Amino acid sequence: MTVTATSVGESDPMPPQTTPSARGGRLVRLLPAAAAALSGLLLYVSFPPRTLWWLALPAFAVLGLVLRGRSWKAGLGLGYLFGLGFLLPLLVWTGVEVGPGPWIALVVIEAVFVALVGAGVAAVSKLPGWPVWAAALWVAGEAARARVPFSGFPWGKVAFGQADGAFLPLAALGGTPVLGFAVVLCGFGLYEVVRLAVRARRTGTLTRSVTVVAVLSAVVPLVAALASRTLVSDRAESGTVTVAVIQGNVPRLGLDFNSQRRAVLDHHARETERLAAEVAAGRAERPDVVLWPENSSDIDPFVNDDARDVIDRAAKAIDAPISVGGVVSRDGRLLNEQILWDPAKGPVDTYDKRQVQPFGEYLPLRSLVGAINENWTSMVRQDFSRGDEPGVFRMNGAGVGLVTCYEAAFDWAVRDTVTAGAQLISVPSNNATFGRSEMTYQQLAMSRVRAVEHSRAVTVPVTSGVSAVIMPDGRITQKTGMFVADSLVQEVPLRSSQTPATRLGVLPEVLLVLVAAGGLGWAVTSGVRARRGGDA
C-alpha cells in the first residue's frame, strides 16, 4: 500500500465557523422583524376585554421606529409582520368551531392591507411632518379593509380598542376614522419626540420646525380629545324610555345550538315571562320596550303557528312590544330579520339585516369553497339575502334603531339608522357560536364607541352574553354574565340631536384618505427627483 502525503494547502477544507460577530449581525438584522411582530401583539393587548387602551401608543411608536427611513419593500414585509402579530390573536375566535383553516386564511388576507400601509409609511417617513401622513395612511388602510373583499371586514379598527380610553370623545367629532387617526398619530408622534430628544443629546442640535411638528403630533390628539368631551352627553332630549334586554341563553355552546331552535325560543319566552312575574310582584320596573337578541326565534313565526303562539304569549305577559330576532323565509329569500311584535296586534313591522356576514350567512365563491372543503358549504346551505332599508321601530313612542350584530362594525350601517330617526340603538346579536372567546367583548366595545359616536343609548341583547345597557357617553351601566339566562331593565335617555360625526358621515374618512394620497404622491415625487439628481 502506498501512502501519499498531502500538503497543508491540499488538505480537506474545514467547515466554515460562524464567528460571534456574524451571529450578532444576523440577530441585529432580525430585530426589526421581531419588533414589528411584537408591536402588533402589543396593539392586540390594548383591545378588550383588557382595558389597556394606552398600549396602542407604544405599539405605533415601535412601528414608527421600525419603519422610518426604510425602503417601501422593507416596509411591506415589516407591515405584514405587524399585521400578523395584531390580527392572529385578535381574530382567533373565528376558528373556535370551524377549525384553524378559516381563521388563518382570514388573517393572511387581512394582514395584506396592513402590509400595504407599512410600505406607505416607510415611503412617507422621509417627509417633513411624517407622523401626519403615516397616521392618515393607517386610516386609508382601514377604509379599504372595511370595503373589500366581500363588502369588507372592519373588525380590528384601532378605534374599537379605545372604548375605555382618553381619546373616545373624538368618536363624536369625526367617527371611527378621526378616533383611529388620533391614536395612531399620537403613537407615531411619541416616537418622533423620543427620536429627536436622543438625537439632540447626541449631536447638540435640534431643528425647531421638526420639533414643533413632533410635539404637536403627540399633544394635539390628546387636547382635541379633551375638547371633544363637550360633545358627549347622556342628557335626555326627547324624554326617556324603560328598556328590558332579554338574554334567554342557549341549550349548549357551539354551532349545534341551532339544532335546538325551539329550545332557544322557549328560553327567551321563559325569561320574558319571568320578568313579567317580577313586574307584577313589584320587584321590577315595567318596561316600555322589550328587546330580544338575533336568532332568538330561528323558527319562522310567520309560517309556524306554534312559534307564533310562544312569542305572542310572552308579549302579552310583559304587556309591551318586543323586537324579536327571527330567521324568516319570504318570497324564496332567507332573511335575518328583526320583527316588531305588538302584544295586541302581533307582528307589525320588520327589519332585514343589510350587512350579512360572508362565510357565515352567505358563501362567496361557493363552488371554489366546496371544492376545497365540502363541510364548509354544508354549514351555509342557503345564502341569506340582504335588506335594503335602515330599521327603526316605533316602540311606545320611542324610535329604536336596529343594528344587527355584524353590522355594528360598519360605520354606514349605524349612521343611517340614526339619520333615519333612531333615538336609541339596539344591537341584537348571537355570539353562541363563538363560545367563551373574546369576540363578545370586542363587539361590546364597538357598541360603546357607537354610543359616543352618535350620542345615543345603546342596548346589546345577546343570546348567550354579554348583554348590556350602554349610556350615550359610552358607560356600561348594566351587563349580564355569559351563558346565563338574565334580563336587564333600565330607564335610558332618548336623544334626537346629531353629533358632528353623524352629520359629517363619511367626509372625515374621505379627507384623511386624500391626505394619505397627498403624502404618498409627495414621497414618490421626492424619490424620483432624488434619483434623477443622483443620475446627473
Cβ atoms within 10 Å of 499's Cβ, excluding its own: 24
Catalytic-labelled residue, pool 110, 192, 294, 337? 294
Cell 323586537 belongs to residue? 323
d(CA 428, CA 459): 8
Pairing mode, strands 398-402 and 424-426: parallel
CA-wise closest residue to 358 among 157, 140, 154: 154
d(CA 37, CA 25): 20
Instruction: Identify whether 237 is a catalytic site residue.
Output: no
What angle, 0 to 180 degrees and rounded to 10, lies between the N-to-C axes of helices 72-90 and 20-45? 50
**Three cell numbers written together for 450:** 357607537
d(CA 380, CA 370): 11
Instruction: Identify whether 353 is a catalytic site residue.
Output: yes
B/e letters for 313-351, b = 16+ CB within 10 Å, e = fewer, are: ebbebbebbbbbbbbbeeeeebbbbbbbbebeeebebbb
Catalytic-labelled residue, pool 157, 405, 407, 479? 405
Write phi, then psi, for 341 (nearest 5 degrees). Answer: -110, 110
Q: How far is CA 441 from CA 48, 295, 300, 481, in A?
A: 6, 19, 29, 11
Do residues 446 and 175 lie in contact, with contact meaning Cβ atoms separated by under 8 Å? no
- Residue count of the chain, please give it: 536
Catalytic-labelled residue, pool 353, 361, 453, 479? 353
Do residues 485 and 267 lie in contact, with contact meaning Cβ atoms separated by under 8 Å? yes
Catalytic residues: 294, 353, 405
